[in-house]
Amino acid sequence: METNDELPGTTAPFTLDEARAAGLTPAQLRGKSFANVSHGLFRPAEWDFDLLEAARALCAATPGAWISHSTAARLQGLILPPWLAESDELHLSKPRRLPEVRRKGITGHTVVAFPDEVENAGQLRISTRARTWLDLTRTLPLRDLICIGDQLVRIPRPEFEDRSEPFATLASLREMVQRHGNLQGVVRAREALELMRVGADSGPETLLRLAMLDGGLPEPDLQLKLWNSPTAPSADAGYRARRIALQYDGAHHLDALQRHSDRRRDKAFEAAGWTVLTFTNEDLADGFDQAVRKIKQALRSAWIDPTIASGFASGT
């Protein structure tokens, strides 16, 4: 009997029910064209791993479970440290009332989760971004948790993104942390919440702010407008009282059009008497040590606007 016939539509992992619906026989599933991944779950023998396809099949084969932890974070585009950003680990969570997930190559979790902490995204059942952040508090260092948290609470720009509301607010994250007071990692979650801010547009911007605080600098304003108008040039961070604007120009700023836009932005600040300090991936690579020194020097020599300097601590 021929056992390796291929049928169309089987280019990604699939469940036993999906195999039956597609007309695949048990003999075909035992053939060389397919591999049995785990109970009730198969894949084409020549399949190149794809995280989304693997997650979809895993959800379909495991009723009551959802994609979580770093797997969810990768699929949701959350900021992860390099050692985790490319990981193909598969994490699956279930409510504590259900049996633990036991599948080869799968990290299973049994957790307490509220209905608003899990959502349907296409063919996936997956933890919300906020719950994903909470699940990672046990694993990630504090700075990485703050980066993800800043990403969740940032105000999106509708002209560039297909949404107008943040993924979460500081208040909603605090509420979620409060109702999971016994969760491992919850102490770190509380620490991260105290250091999260609305206004960082990227992980490096968050890391720059944290490096400044570690260096004893006063906390900067974020998304600082040159004047009060939606169309005004803005700085990623800065000190209005000292007329200091801080910009982090990442890799996308190497584009010619973006460089032209950046230069117009900086000239507008400079024409208004501001000092503009621009930092790049090189500063990120050294942990913003040089950046902090440059900012301290700028603060020491900056003119102070007496009308808005009340209570301003130089930190230098």
CATH for 204? 3.40.960.10
Q: How many CB atoms lie within 10 A of CB 22?
A: 13
Distance CA 314, CA 316 (A): 5
pLDDT at 81 (0 to 100): 94
Q: Do both 53 and 188 map to the same domain?
A: yes
Residue type for 254, please?
A: L
pLDDT score of 3 more than 80: no
Question: Is 6 a residue whose pLDDT tops 60?
Answer: no
Judge whether 74 and 80 are in contact, CB under 8 Å.
Answer: yes
Q: Which residues contact 57 (CB under 8 A, 6 or more apart)?
A: 12, 13, 14, 15, 41, 43
185 and 62 inside one domain: yes
Q: Hunting for tokens 């190559």 — which residue is that?
A: 105
The residue-averaged pLDDT of 104-127 equals: 93
Whole-number pLDDT of residue 58 = 92
Query: Which residues form the domain of 82?
Result: 49-198
Which two structure tokens, joined as six digits, stand for 45? 């023998």
- 295-308 tens-digit pLDDT: 999 999 877 776 66
Q: 94 has which bridge partners? A: 110
Are residues 101 and 216 both part of a single domain? no
Residue 68 pLDDT > 90: yes
* Domain co-membership, 6 together with 119: no
Which of 198, 213, 243 terminates a domain? The answer is 198
| pLDDT tens-digit readout, 143-155 | 999 999 999 999 9
**206 and 114 part of one domain:** no
Nearest Cα residue to 208 out of 264, 152, 277, 265? 277
How many structural domains comprise the chain?
A: 3
Task: Return the percentage of the chain with pLDDT > 90, whole number.
Answer: 65
307 with 179, same domain: the answer is: no
Distance CA 45, CA 53 (A): 14
Same domain, 154 and 104: yes
Residues 60 and 194 in one domain: yes
Amino acid (1-letter code) at residue 98: L
Q: Exposed/middle/buried for 82, CB within 10 Å: 0-12, 13-18, 19+?
A: exposed
End of a domain among 178, 198, 218?
198
Average predicted confidence (pLDDT) for the chain: 89
Residues 189 and 205 in one domain: no
Residues 129 and 223 in one domain: no
Choose one of 165, 198, 231: the last residue of a domain: 198
CB 240 within 8 A of CB 251: no
Strand partners, 111: 95
